Structure 1
Amino acid sequence: MGGLAGGPDLVSLGVLVAAVPRFKVDEAAAVCGVAEARRGGKLPPHVTAYLTMALCLFAQESAEEVAQKVTGSLSAFGVWDAAWTPPTSSGITQARMRLGREVLRETFYRVAEPVAAPSTRGAWLSGRRLVAIDGFDFDVPDTAENAAEFGYAGNDRSRSAFPKVRVVAVSECGSQAFIDAEVGPWAASEKAMAAPLLAALSSDWLLLADRGFYSFAAYTAAAGTGAALCWRAPTQLGLPVVKVLPDGTYLSVLIDPSIRGQHRERLRAEAASGAKPDPAAAHVVRIVEYEVPDRDGSELICLITNVHDPADVSAADLAGCYQQRWESEAANGQLKTSLRGSGRVLRSRSPDLVLQEVWAYLLVQYAISALICQAATSADIDPDRSSFVKAQSRS
């Protein structure tokens, strides 16, 4: 981005256009059946898409102010015709309604991919790319349509002030960029929304996940991709010691909770003998336990991993890398606080536009995080040391 000339708005849009190229937006619009031609003064899909992302980049300004701010910059990148008149707020809303809820979702899936290079600090463990899964939510305007589609937190006696949309996302720990996501209503559980994300892991990734995402079905789906897993165990999960390893960790067996009685005992015996169980019924796992000091003494952390060999990844390295799961929390904070603004409700008053806006936020967070990661890698520093807020103001 260093070669971009002009004011900060030009550079801002340059980052978006570089990370979210127009041909990807055009492909997404075509797949979603959204017309491309500008007729009768209507904004074409690619312009509407970038204006929607710009509304997230400049979240504290009105839609019309954002349009006035960025149309000149869009022209410099071949996205806007200088002969066109900047749209009004109502014109932007109408264009966003024509764009619909799916185009930016499809664009995200075409664009978002890992950005950490082999030399990026904090991005790898034993040749595996560190990723994490986590969930968060947005407050959306309290309209009847939004309430019907997304719902409120709490209950009728004590419910949230605004309807909420839930997001579950996979982020790359090194760059903190979101690389996969699902968006849905508040009533959808994080576990249910995580299911398609876990089934889409890459075999060269190491997934970090909190105990709230654990279930036997979720672990089975994630392990079936070939990815390495480092998952915090729920406190109630029974983990029998099958074999103690030289480094003090031990092998155990996860068994489908629907299996009972003698069949369950047989699976434990098979695991103890070194046999590999049917993954539909059980998994042999390695358990790493350690304590973390807190105000009340210490907390026992129990990690489940399918990396069995201590020579491959040590217990200390697994415990250390699990702390990288907090990078997903940092990514959430970047989106909800640095971009949107703390406590700010989304702009959109209808479900289609809410979903469109959420996917736009995910794209903008991805673009800025990719810029930070590339710059930090070039400077041989951990991207964690770079400020998202400063990058946002300069990007």
Structure 2
Amino acid sequence: MAQGSVQSDGPVARPDQVSLGVLVAAVPRFKVDEAAAVCGVAEQRRGGKLPPHVTAYLTMALCLFSDDAAEEVAQKVTGSLSAFGVWDAAWEPPTSSGITQARKRLGRDVLRETFYRVAEPVANSETRGAWLRQWRLTAIDGFDLDVPDSPQNAAEFGYAGNDLSRSAFPKARVVAVVECGSHAFMDAEVGPWSRREKTMAASLLPSISSNWLLLADRCFYSFAAFSAAAQTGAALCWRAPTQLSLPILKVLSDGTYLSALVDPAIRGRQREELLDETRSGVKPDPVAAHVVRVVEYDVPDRDGQERVCLITNITDPDAASAAEIAGAYHQRWEEETANGQLKSVLREPGKVLRSKSPDLVHQEIWAYLLVHYAINSLICQAATGADIDPDRGSFLRTVNIVRRTATGTAAFPR
């Protein structure tokens, strides 16, 4: 990438791409306008300094400069104010209060709707590290964000811990689906700390694509969740919780074995009859059970060895070997990388979000997800063009370049 944001022998992105223009390129104006129209705010204050689309891009810019007051961010990124096409050069940049009021008018849903319209897989067939054979590697996981300790935020999001020992700030929970190869968030759900990750994931699983291999840790397993994901036709590779019963139906040539995930409501004789039929080759009703392949292996840890047990609906060893399945599962850590990029690079370690009301917290989180998506889209496209793994791209260096070049150069679309 230009200016060293991806390590390669030559530039693989234009210098003008590595600027605040990356937001406009990845988050097109027409999609922001569509989202605003769907949310009923498209026509509000069209003649003012901060119409909906300008407020949306400015809110994203606030995520690039989390240390700075809103007014200072506006000073940095607007450049020539007439470039907005909604004021003349004689006007002053908006005040922090004016930006806050514009954000309130924009509401909590416009940037969420924009994200849903924008976020999609970034890696193509040539992107290194993005695929296992024909399957796009994806993962689902969650993270939390500290929000300002206002009464409204406390009521909406809640604290971690309990009354005797609770977190210093209220926490918002985010559960997201990430493309492993690019680290790009493709879908997400935002909610209060009290909502479990498994519960929040339920709304994301039905929308996964049939050509994905979805990776998930053991905390996401339930029969209902696995069923919802399997019904999409996607390949799945989930770590099994330790208490999950996995009867051996058939040992395969590579040492893995077939088992059955059975609806926990089915018990006793009915369960045994179902397993006997499945052993004899009868395909079970997916409402009642799923045949899965079990891949088990040990990994070293500080206490010696840890047993990893994976369940996958790729039941044919010729379709993906045990080693390929195990290697793919450990790509799940790419989601942890994505989470860390947002929490520790964009937002910076220990930082609290700036929004003091729940609506603006939701808006700010979706803005962070959009900025993260835009930057990783650029890194992935540049790395693919240079035929290197996007993992070799530096998210931090790219963010720093965007921050440096944003000052005085931004030109939001009219």
TM-score range (shorter-chain normalised) is over 0.9
Aligned residues of 1:137 and 1:166 also touching (Cα < 8 A): yes
Q: Within 5 Å, which residues of 2 pair with 1:174-189?
A: 174-189=181-196
Q: Deviations over 1:125-158 (max 9, x none)?
A: 0111000000001000000000011111111111
Q: Within 5 Å, which residues of 2 pair with 1:346-361?
A: 346-361=353-368
Local SS of the residue matching 2:176: strand
Instruction: Give the AA of the match of 1:364.
Output: V
**Distance between the aligned counterparts of 2:278 and 2:14, measured in 1?**
58
Report the CA distance between 1:196 and its aligned residue.
Answer: 1.2
**Distance between the aligned counterparts of 1:389 and 1:261, measured in 2?**
55
Aligned residues of 2:60 and 2:371 also touching (Cα < 8 A): yes
1:218 equivalent among 209, 216, 225: 225
Q: Tell me which residue corresponds to 2:156.
A: 149
Local SS of the residue matching 2:127: coil
**Distance between the aligned counterparts of 1:377 and 1:74, measured in 2?**
36
Q: Does 1:191 align with 2:195?
A: no
Report the CA distance between 1:37 and its aligned residue.
Answer: 5.0
1:362 equivalent among 369, 377, 382: 369
Q: How many residues align?
A: 390
Q: Does 1:86 align with 2:93?
A: yes
**Distance between the aligned counterparts of 1:373 and 1:256, measured in 2?**
40
Local SS of the residue matching 1:301: strand
Q: Does 1:267 align with 2:279?
A: no
**Distance between the aligned counterparts of 1:143 and 1:67, measured in 2?**
25
**Distance between the aligned counterparts of 1:228 and 1:152, measured in 2?**
36
**Distance between the aligned counterparts of 2:390 and 2:219, measured in 1?**
27
CA change 1:82–1:332 in 2 (3 A) is: farther
Q: Within 5 Å, which residues of 2 pair with 1:1-395?
A: 2-5=13-16, 11-36=18-43, 38=45, 41-72=48-79, 81-83=87-89, 84-395=91-402
**Distance between the aligned counterparts of 1:156 and 1:324, measured in 2?**
38
Superposed structure 1 runs of 4+ greater than 6 Å apart: none
CA change 1:23–1:79 in 2 (3 A) is: farther
Report the CA distance between 1:39 and its aligned residue.
Answer: 5.2
Local SS of the residue matching 1:113: coil
Aligned residues of 2:259 and 2:291 also touching (Cα < 8 A): yes
Q: Deviations over 1:90-128 (max 9, x none)?
A: 000000000000000000000000000101010000111
Structure with larger RCO (C-alpha < 8 A, sep 6+): 2
More moved, 97-106 vs 33-42: 33-42
Report the CA distance between 1:12 and its aligned residue.
Answer: 2.7
CA change 1:75–1:53 in 2 (3 A) is: farther
Instruction: Give the AA of the match of 1:323.
Output: H
Aligned residues of 2:376 and 2:395 also touching (Cα < 8 A): yes
Aligned residues of 2:44 and 2:51 also touching (Cα < 8 A): yes
Local SS of the residue matching 2:351: coil
**Distance between the aligned counterparts of 2:85 and 2:47, measured in 1?**
18
Report the CA distance between 1:38 and its aligned residue.
Answer: 3.6
CA change 1:301–1:392 in 2 (3 A) is: same
Aligned residues of 1:42 and 1:95 also touching (Cα < 8 A): no
Gaps of 5+ in 1: none
Report the CA distance between 1:340 and its aligned residue.
Answer: 0.2
Instruction: Give the AA of the match of 2:125.
Output: P
Aligned residues of 1:47 and 1:80 also touching (Cα < 8 A): no
Q: With structure 1 as the length reference, what TM-score do the two structures score?
A: 0.96
Aligned residues of 1:72 and 1:82 also touching (Cα < 8 A): no
Instruction: Give the AA of the match of 1:207.
Output: L
CA change 1:80–1:314 in 2 (3 A) is: farther
**Distance between the aligned counterparts of 1:369 and 1:391, measured in 2?**
9
**Distance between the aligned counterparts of 1:90 and 1:141, measured in 2?**
17
CA change 1:184–1:75 in 2 (3 A) is: farther
Gaps of 5+ in 2: 3-12, 403-414
**Distance between the aligned counterparts of 1:345 and 1:277, measured in 2?**
49
